[in-house]
Amino acid sequence: MKHSIHALATALLLLCLSVPAAQANVVIGGTRVVFPAQDGEVTVRLTNNNKTPALVEAWIDSGDEHSTPDKVNTPFLITPPIFRMDPHKDQSLRILYTQNKQPLPTDRESLFWLNVLEIPPKPSGKAFAGKNLLQFAIRSRLKLFYRPAHLAGDPAKAPSLVTWTSVPDGQGYALEVHNPTPYHVTIVQATITVGGKSYVSDSGMVDPFGKLDLKVKNLATAPASGTPVTYDIVNDYGATTPLKGSVAP
């Protein structure tokens, strides 16, 4: 009996290891969406790179990663919200802001999330007849930044305006980054050199006019004022850009 159980467990493990990683065939044009308020709408392009059609559903949530289309309540409308994509075809999603539903702040960006759910068709034909199949519905989730008109400053320059300080975090020291601008700033990582050794921080996004503590592993000594900080940010186009700063007093 024990040998049978062990054999079954081994077979299940090998089956799991043999299942390839699920990858989306419906590709979104970009890694983030910037919605300029003065435009009233934005368009997001999708492409089905697969040889089979797919059913696609799209919706926007305000931060709940477990959101579903029937439960979200955001001031945006997507057309079409659900549709079929034929193989190697493109589809444009129109995202419109419905201002009367939920007015948003006009002095800073607001963050939302665009969800694109890809549901593959059920395999058919003699090759699949009578077989058990495992299929995946794949959801992609992108940040959507609603950017009011006439915000102060230049969004491209906002990441270079953040300031840095060191703060104790219970296990050593962290880097606290303060964002004085009305734009979100996404930091891939920050690097600081103390005592001839370089330390790398976690990643994170700093809200407009907000601050964020980035953990720095094994940083046991507080960096002196003026210590250089190099950091990578993500711009409006999803590209990574290196910048330089320093620890403030």
Identical fold, 23-147 and 158-244: yes
Domain boundaries, the chain: 23-147, 158-244
Q: ∠ CA 108-110-113 to the nearest 5 degrees?
A: 160
Contact between residue 118 and residue 136 where contact means Cβ atoms under 8 Å apart: no
The residues facing 111 across adjacent strands are 145
| Measured torsion, CA atoms of residues 98, 103, 104, 105, in degrees rounded to the nearest 10 | 150
3 state DSSP class of 71: coil
Q: What is the CATH number of domain 158-244?
A: 2.60.40.10
Give the tens place of pLDDT for each residue, 182-229.
999 999 999 999 999 999 999 999 999 999 999 999 999 999 999 999
Give the tens place of pLDDT for each residue, 8-24.
333 333 333 333 445 67
Give the tens place of pLDDT for each residue, 30-80.
999 999 999 999 999 999 998 889 999 999 999 999 999 998 889 999 999
Q: Look at the domain 23-147 and name its fold.
A: Immunoglobulin-like (2.60.40)
For residue 13, the surrounding DSSP H or E stretch is: helix 2-18
The whole model's pTM is what?
A: 0.84
Half-sphere exposure for 241 (CA within 13 Å, toward CB): 15
